Structure 1
Amino acid sequence: MSFAAQSAYSNPGEYAALLDVLPSDVAGITDVVRNVLIHYRGGGIEFTGERLEEINHRWIDDLLATDQRRNGTPLATPREPADRVAGCCRDYTLLTVSALRHKGIPARSRIGFAPYFVPGFNCDHVVAEYWNGDRWVMVDAQLEPGEHWGFDVQDMPAGKFRSAAEVWLGYRSGELDGDLFGVDPSLPLKGGWFIRDYVFLQLAHLQCDEVLLWDGFGGMADDLEMDLGPTDEVAALLVASDAGDEAATTKLRDLYREDPEWHPADRLEVHSPTGTPPYYVNVTTREQTPAT
């Protein structure tokens, strides 16, 4: 897997020139990313209608097209919060990954849970990693650096962010309470089934299919009424791969290619937080059709 090459999702396409002039350092890149994007729930603005639909930008070229229609200036030119593109953690991460790959720096997105947003709860989250020539460095591009976080958001310490696979194995062993992992403690989007679905998302992102957090495919489900052994096995492989086990990495790649339970193929089912009815997206043609 070449994390230095653009994926279908991270490719800026005709907007590549916008990335040419970005800073070469990661801190500078993430500053620009936060200038382009605003979190649809945490940005202090209530988005509705077409503005809220911006959270469904799947491809970076579409996201950049929206920004340029609205602003028409280099990405580093200051934008008012209301002029930024509405998105979520996945979008902050993917734009960062796109910019790094554009500069030839291997980068990838990581799916999991973060304990630093809501005390006593672990929110679903996506962060970036880049290869600095010696190790993978984890970056939370959504966060403005500052001492109040209690850690360096540009080089996150081990254990501050838990991958979905780690959490799933902890949940299965009884070490972790599944109800403490999800979107928000006040919402039903949490628990064992939610963690399991995020294992699917983690694998997809590892294979450079950086799907939306509300995409459904393969064996994902909103319950646990199935044989959980395969999920346990994939989660264990993901943890081993993260630890540098090349055999595990190869097994995951082959499984993703060959097993339709784990691969989104050419169609995703979208359950958007916008409240629109579920629909399908063909990831090759980008065509949308109603889910029936």
Structure 2
Amino acid sequence: MDYMRQTPYSDPGAHAHLFDALPDDIPAIGAVVRNLLIHYRGGGIEFTGDRLAEIDHRWVSAILGTDQRRNSSPLAVPRQPVDRVVGCCRDYTLLFVSALRHKGIPARSRIGFAAYFGPGFHYDHVVAEYWNGDRWVLTDPQLDPAADHGFDALDMPVGPFLSAAEVWLDTRAGRRDPDTFGVEPGSPYGGAWFINNYVYLQLAHLYGDETLLWDVWPAHTAPGVPSTPDRTDEVANLLLAFEQPQAAEALAAGYPEWGPAGKVYLMSPSGAPERWDTIPSEVAGLH
């Protein structure tokens, strides 16, 4: 897998030159990302209509295009919160990953659940990993590293964030309660079926299909509908062993069946009509 290569999702396209002026250090790139985006639920501003629809930007090129139409200035120039592009954790991570790849740093997104947004619950979340020359470093570009999170947001330890594959296998083994994982406490978007779906999102992002969190495809299950646990067990175990060549080969062989295969069904919280969307069928790293 070549994580230094842009995917159709992370490719800045005509706006690539904007990354040339970015600093080379990781904390500064994260700060620029937070300057460009505002979370649609956690940013303190209620967005509606066309502004809320910005959360459906699939591509980094679209995120940067919206920013430039609104601000038309270098990316590090401060934006007012209301002028930032509306997004979610996936967008913070994808923009961060895109900038690092542009700088020649291998980077990828990780799908899972975070324990640090509220006590007693694990919120669905996307973070980034980058290769520092010796190892993969886990970091959350949505978090200000200067704040007190109880851990280093620039080099996260095991525990605050759990991958979807880890959570799936833990809940299957009875080590964790699946009802403590989801969008938020009390939401219908949580529990075993939701964790099941995030295993396939984790797989897709690993193979360069950095889809929206509300994209679904046939490998997913509907709310409340029993999943195909044996198949998801297989995928989750392979994901945990991905750095081993045999596991990577097995995942690559199964990906045409388990991944989106060029088509996703959009179920957006923006209120956009549900629809099938065609996405690029050639994925970086598989061809």
Q: TM-score, normalised by structure 1?
A: 0.94
Matched residue type, 1:24: D
Taking the aligned partners of 1:246 and 1:189, their CA distance within structure 2 comes to 34
> Cα deviations across residues 199-257 of structure 1 (Å, max 9, x unaligned)?
0000000001100000001220124435311110110010111xx32211121112113
1:252 has 2:251 as partner: yes
Taking the aligned partners of 1:150 and 1:226, their CA distance within structure 2 comes to 35
In the alignment, which residue of structure 1 is the partner of 2:229? 228
> Cα gap change, 1:147/1:55 in structure 2, threshold over 3 Å: closer, same or farther?
closer
Say whether the 8 Å CA contact 2:182–2:195 is kept in structure 1.
Answer: yes
Say whether the 8 Å CA contact 1:90–1:126 is kept in structure 2.
Answer: yes
Shift of 1:159: 2.1
5+ long unaligned stretches in structure 1: 286-292
1:93-242 → structure 2 map (5 Å cutoff): 93-222=93-222, 223-241=224-242
- TM-align CA RMSD: 1.2
Shift of 1:146: 2.9
Q: Which moved more, 1:68-77 or 1:146-155?
A: 146-155
Shift of 1:62: 0.6
Say whether the 8 Å CA contact 1:192–1:224 is kept in structure 2.
Answer: no
Matched residue type, 1:270: L
Q: TM-score, normalised by structure 2?
A: 0.95
In the alignment, which residue of structure 1 is the partner of 2:273? 277
Give secondary structure in 2 for the equivalent of 1:113: strand
Shift of 1:284: 3.8
> Cα deviations across residues 48-93 of structure 1 (Å, max 9, x unaligned)?
0000000000000011000000000000000000000000000000
Taking the aligned partners of 2:179 and 2:228, their CA distance within structure 1 comes to 21
Matched pairs, number: 280
How high is the sequence identity, in percent, across the aligned residues?
58
Taking the aligned partners of 1:225 and 1:120, their CA distance within structure 2 comes to 25
1:27-106 → structure 2 map (5 Å cutoff): 27-106=27-106
Shift of 1:176: 0.8
Q: Which moved more, 1:139-148 or 1:124-133?
A: 139-148
Matched residue type, 1:227: T
5+ long unaligned stretches in structure 2: 282-287
> Cα deviations across residues 130-169 of structure 1 (Å, max 9, x unaligned)?
0000000011000111352011101101222100000000
Moved over 4 A (4+): none
Taking the aligned partners of 1:209 and 1:186, their CA distance within structure 2 comes to 30
Matched residue type, 2:266: V
Matched residue type, 1:255: G
Say whether the 8 Å CA contact 2:193–2:226 is kept in structure 1.
Answer: no
In the alignment, which residue of structure 2 is the partner of 1:288? none
Taking the aligned partners of 1:276 and 1:130, their CA distance within structure 2 comes to 33
Q: Greater relative contact order (Cα 8 A, min sep 6): structure 1 or 2?
A: 2
Say whether the 8 Å CA contact 2:8–2:280 is kept in structure 1.
Answer: no
Matched residue type, 1:249: A
> Cα deviations across residues 243-292 of structure 1 (Å, max 9, x unaligned)?
x32211121112113x2xx121221100001123311211149xxxxxxx
1:21 has 2:17 as partner: no
Matched residue type, 1:190: G
